[in-house]
Structure 1
Amino acid sequence: MDFAPLTHDPVVDVNRAEELDRDLVVIPDGGVGLVPNVGVIGGSHSVLVVETGLGPRNAERLLTFATEYARGRRLYLTTTHFHPEHAFGAQVFAGAATYLVNRAQAEDLAGRGPGYLEMFRGLGAPVARALDGVELVAPDVVYAEHHDLDLGGRVVRLRATGRAHSRGDQVVLVPDAGVLFTGDLVEAGQFSIFPWFPPHDVDVSGLGWIEVMHRLIATDPRVVVPGHGAVAGPGVLADVRDYLELLLDETWARRDSAMSEETIAAEVEALMVQRHPEWTGRDWISRGVGCFCAEHG
């Protein structure tokens, strides 16, 4: 990954926890790079934690918070996808929580996890420190595509979306609260993260991602918790869909004219930045162009 090394500590700050609904809180990322938005969702007899943070120390903070929040209720853990800041603290929950994900994500973790661990360790000393001591653990429960988790008076829907940001993306829907956790299928105020690193990782699918966004919009949530960025209303789903569709159209229009991928990326990036000058993560635009070029029919 040819990105500038991280110079800050990617710490999940449990003191920032905010209540979104009855017995449902989010620990926001605070605008800190490589910190995900974390969810803690309660029912009468169980509590579900969504995401672990980057590495064991963040997971320890979250487990302590979740244990205190649960007050004796059973703990579950799930992750929206296998990438390090979302899932590489799961070992800390072993024995304290039941860890469950979809089959494709479990396969991602087993197959891609070690490579991503090494790649992320190269992103700067703070990241390497956060990942010190990481052990990749297998989930306790693996489902195929759909799993309804009964927390007691509240059923949480875990849904594998199919290949998009990764092969094993999962969303978490809390129907009675109208809250949708999307992982990195959605970012607020940021260009979509395309982990397109040929030949090492080409699992992302821009075309699949667009299809997923249409399906998520149809769920009509009240609140959307993105992978990174501020908690938002349902309009953020349309923002991501529209960006991805424009990225596709502008990339393929230039691909049809036999322009080089480098030229396409430069032109499309300039256009996207003009459209969304306030968004961060501009480095991801060219990755998205590369992905869509590869998917050009």
Structure 2
Amino acid sequence: MSDYPYADPIVDLADVQELARDLIVIPNRNVDLVPNIGLIGGTHSVLVVDTGLGPRNAEQVLRFASSYANGRRLYLTTTHFHPEHAFGAQVFADEATYLLNTAQADDLTTKGEGYLGMFRQLGEPVARELEGARIPVPDQTYDGTYGLDLGGRSVQLRPTGRAHSKGDQVITVPDAGVLFTGDLAEADQFAIFPWFPPYDVDVSGVRWIEVMDRLAAERPQIVVPGHGEVGDAQLLTQVHDYLVELRDETWRRRDSGLSEETTAAEIRALMIERHPDWRLPEWIERGVGCLCTEHRH
């Protein structure tokens, strides 16, 4: 098993951030494979957004959420099916109602086992957190926008269509102007392209740009990305502009007849030069690979 070069993927409950009344985020503290986790409260219910990687992280989150709810009903949703976001949902089975968009449920069914196996090969700290992990099964699925009444607060769960994954969804809290994006947006890091042919080729750079265009037009006051610091609508514009930049530089080189290998090498160097403070440049080449297949002649 390969060495894992990053900090252990453990949810840390220190420095919980209050974003609005009865709305908090457990920040990922820029630790890889730890998502930003949300708790959104109303008078009778609390919605948890994402679980952390595997059962042990999810047990921590559930204990915290149960204490925070203080007798209120618990709901759980996940932004997409990737393991650090959804592969702790089994822990919530008897404590919360797990709500999920149909496309994400399909992702879990068709690709969950493959991702579980792939992530277990990333290194011992990741494999340890995935011990005993099972592919989660939602209690309820839905298509279109789902309005969840938490008591005095309505939360909207909205599938976006294929982008970072086939089953992406965003969670909006209209009264607080808050948007949870999952991995459609990351702060100060290169966009994560899960481009793993032939096993998973559902990511679409072209559709992702369209989704970010729509989300940015809504101008939320607070944006909670999948990973990285909480921001505002400018974060959505930043991600959109990077994806456009990546697409244009890729297609320009393909129009000139450059090979995908040369294109990827040139663009990696260019993007690091343009965004020297961003993390995880290893995702640049995968983005180029995806966009090469979407190249319009």
For residues 141 and 52 of structure 2, what CA distance do their matches in structure 1 show? 21
CA RMSD, Structure 1 to Structure 2 (Å): 1.0
Q: Cα distance, 1:8 vs. partner?
A: 3.1
Partner amino acid, structure 2, of 1:147: Y
Maintained 8 Å contact 1:105/1:167? yes
Paired position in structure 2 for 1:118: 117
Q: Cα distance, 1:4 vs. partner?
A: 6.2
What's the % identity of the aligned pairs?
A: 66
Paired position in structure 1 for 2:148: 149
Q: Cα distance, 1:161 vs. partner?
A: 0.2
1:259 pairs with 2:239: no
For residues 279 and 7 of structure 2, what CA distance do their matches in structure 1 show? 17
Partner amino acid, structure 2, of 1:282: P
Paired position in structure 2 for 1:193: 192
> 1:197-236 maps to which residues of 2 (within 5 A)?
197-236=196-235
For residues 15 and 7 of structure 1, what CA distance do their matches in structure 2 show? 19
> 1:85-100 maps to which residues of 2 (within 5 A)?
85-100=84-99
For residues 130 and 6 of structure 1, what CA distance do their matches in structure 2 show? 16
How many residues get paired? Answer: 295
1:11 pairs with 2:10: yes
Paired position in structure 2 for 1:177: 176
For residues 215 and 42 of structure 2, what CA distance do their matches in structure 1 show? 24
For residues 213 and 103 of structure 1, what CA distance do their matches in structure 2 show? 21
Maintained 8 Å contact 2:165/2:203? yes
Paired position in structure 2 for 1:239: 238
1:283 pairs with 2:282: yes
SS of the residue corresponding to residue 36 of structure 1 reads: coil
Maintained 8 Å contact 1:51/1:79? yes
1:163 pairs with 2:162: yes
Q: Cα distance, 1:274 vs. partner?
A: 1.1
Maintained 8 Å contact 1:154/1:176? yes
Maintained 8 Å contact 1:7/1:126? no
Q: Cα distance, 1:137 vs. partner?
A: 2.3
For residues 3 and 187 of structure 2, what CA distance do their matches in structure 1 show? 21
Partner amino acid, structure 2, of 1:122: Q
Deviations 1:91-132 (A, max 9, x none): 000010000110000000011000000000001000000000
Maintained 8 Å contact 2:10/2:57? yes
SS of the residue corresponding to residue 181 of structure 1 reads: strand
Partner amino acid, structure 1, of 2:23: L
Maintained 8 Å contact 2:195/2:286? yes
SS of the residue corresponding to residue 118 of structure 1 reads: helix
| Unmatched tracts of structure 2, length 5 or more | none
Maintained 8 Å contact 1:7/1:124? no
For residues 14 and 235 of structure 2, what CA distance do their matches in structure 1 show? 26
Partner amino acid, structure 2, of 1:152: G
Maintained 8 Å contact 2:45/2:75? yes
For residues 51 and 19 of structure 1, what CA distance do their matches in structure 2 show? 17
Paired position in structure 2 for 1:78: 77
1:28 pairs with 2:53: no
1:138 pairs with 2:122: no
Paired position in structure 2 for 1:53: 52
Deviations 1:226-267 (A, max 9, x none): 000000111010000000001000100111111100000011
Maintained 8 Å contact 2:24/2:39? yes
For residues 239 and 204 of structure 1, what CA distance do their matches in structure 2 show? 19
Paired position in structure 1 for 2:101: 102
Maintained 8 Å contact 1:147/1:158? yes
Maintained 8 Å contact 1:6/1:125? no
For residues 196 and 282 of structure 2, what CA distance do their matches in structure 1 show? 13
Partner amino acid, structure 2, of 1:110: T
SS of the residue corresponding to residue 14 of structure 2 reads: helix
1:65 pairs with 2:64: yes
1:296 pairs with 2:295: yes
Distance of aligned partners of 1:163 and 1:24 in 2 relative to their CA distance in 1, 3 Å threshold: same
TM-score computed with the length of structure 1 as normaliser? 0.98
Partner amino acid, structure 2, of 1:32: V
Deviations 1:21-67 (A, max 9, x none): 00000000011111000000000000000000000000000000000
Q: Cα distance, 1:6 vs. partner?
A: 4.2
Maintained 8 Å contact 1:81/1:168? yes
Maintained 8 Å contact 1:179/1:224? yes
